[in-house]
Amino acid sequence: MKSVTNIIKKEVKELLTPAALVPIILMAAIFGSLGNIIGGAGDEAARPPVIGVIDQDGSALSTAAFQTLNKSAIVVYNGSSVSEGLTVLDEREGVALIMIPSDFSERITNNQTGELQVIWIMKGAGIMDSLSSTSVDLILQLACSSVSKVLIDQHSSVNSSVILNPAVKSETTIFRGKEMAGISPGAIAGFLSQQAFVVPLIVLMVIIMAGSMVISSMGTEKENKTLETLLTLPVRRSSIVFGKLAGSAIVGLILAIIYMVGLGYYTTSITAGGPIDLSRYGLTLDALDYVLVGISLFLGLLSALALCMLLGIFAKNYKSAQTLTMPITLLAMIPMFAVMMLDFNTMPLVGQVLLFAIPFTHPMMAIRSLMFDDYTLVVGGIVYEAAFAFVTMAIAVWAFRKDILLTGRLRKGGERPLNPIWRALFKMNRMRPR
């Protein structure tokens, strides 16, 4: 028994290292925060939706429908002007303006299906953003049921199929200034969500692949001591950093080109070949958009490579280099999940700042933003990515000139202790000066 305990103790001590714990703790924290944001969106969807109603009919049937709508939703506008209704809804964060046309009851009593005209005000293109439109759909069904009930109570001679389905919905969606007739927010979100899953996933894969190349290269160079040889050759340290980055960037660029070709086919097929042609509403990318997406992706890659180069400084060998790809993976996973579930424009400010600060967010969001002509966000992201990459590369060049590259000490003759973050990273990789 004593031997087993002894082995268990050794195993736990060996396996429960900061390198094993930190990523798990970070991952738990990230998923916790995402859960809060998604939970918040869910709570919002559970609340009665805010709507406006224009009853142009004024009949018993339309009144029954209105009363149901009023009971199940928060009606913030009940007037006769569409533009006024949309303004009020915009101010009160409403989701739909429902119009009951003047011929509503006349059509039903004449054995024709009535029409409920819905103007959707779509706030964001994230999956969570379309939840409120789903609850309005349910309320509209309830309104139709109340119309059926009135018809039954009146012992109406209307055809039974019309009694059971007295009205249909005709819809128009307004999203980021674009008016899209005959399409619901759910349909748009559905199409965009296909992209929202695939694009960030591909960006994540490219970043992880290219990033692990740089870190592994550093780890291998240290393990084989080829780095020591390289550093004693008559070549400037900055040239070594730029050479390594450029080499990896070229490989990354090849990956990006493959990605762009695949993506080109992908977006063409979803915008033109699907059941709903998004190009009809101007939701397509032109040549300039593709260039911007390419630049954003390249700069995102460069930022990732420069960050990996910095992390690679802490790699002791190839094996420890693999562990060090974890922070980059985590950093890329945050925007990936956020972009999949939420829309940047409808997120809380803190979330927006956090996401904007991660350079990998921008290539993940670029396509969706460009589809809706949000050039400010894309160009701003590109500028930020360029600045991030430049600063990170400058730090990498600085680190290449210091003992830290080989020994793990920051200060010349350093009597002062290391910064806790650097210390933790060294501890993770158990680096010791020789």
The contact set with another protein (CB under 8 A) reads 223-226, 228-229, 231-236, 402-403, 406-409, 412-415, 417-418, 433-434
Q: Which residue has the tokens 């805010």?
A: 50
- C-alpha to C-alpha distances, 356 to 104, 344, 352, 395, nearest whole angstrom: 48, 9, 6, 21
Shortest Cβ 392–another protein spacing (Å):
23
The beta strand positions in 202-299, using DSSP E, are none
Cα–Cα dist 205/196, whole Å: 14
Pairing of strands 74-78, 50-55: parallel
Shortest Cβ 296–another protein spacing (Å):
32
CB atoms within 10 A of CB 353: 10
Shortest Cβ 217–another protein spacing (Å):
10
Position 365: which residue type?
A: M
Nearer to another protein, 164 or 254 (CB): 254
Of the candidates 325, 343, 352, which has an alpha carbon nearest to the alpha carbon of residue 207?
Answer: 325
Shortest Cβ 322–another protein spacing (Å):
17
Cα–Cα dist 42/129, whole Å: 9
Q: Residue 97 CA to chain centroid, in angstroms?
A: 28
Nearer to another protein, 71 or 411 (CB): 411
Cα–Cα dist 395/375, whole Å: 30
Task: Give one word for 182, left, alpha or beta, with left for phi > 0 and alpha for psi -120 to 50.
Answer: left
Shortest Cβ 248–another protein spacing (Å):
15
Shortest Cβ 132–another protein spacing (Å):
56
Nearer to another protein, 174 or 406 (CB): 406
Shortest Cβ 237–another protein spacing (Å):
10
Letter string b/e over residues 306-335, b meaning 16 or more CB atoms within 10 A of that residue's CB? bbbbbbbbbbbebebbebbbbbbbebbbbb
Shortest Cβ 356–another protein spacing (Å):
38
Nearer to another protein, 243 or 274 (CB): 243
Cα–Cα dist 116/119, whole Å: 10
Nearer to another protein, 11 or 228 (CB): 228
Nearer to another protein, 27 or 231 (CB): 231
Shortest Cβ 422–another protein spacing (Å):
12
Nearer to another protein, 149 or 237 (CB): 237
Q: Residue 415: which H helix or E strand, with range?
A: none
Cα–Cα dist 315/217, whole Å: 10
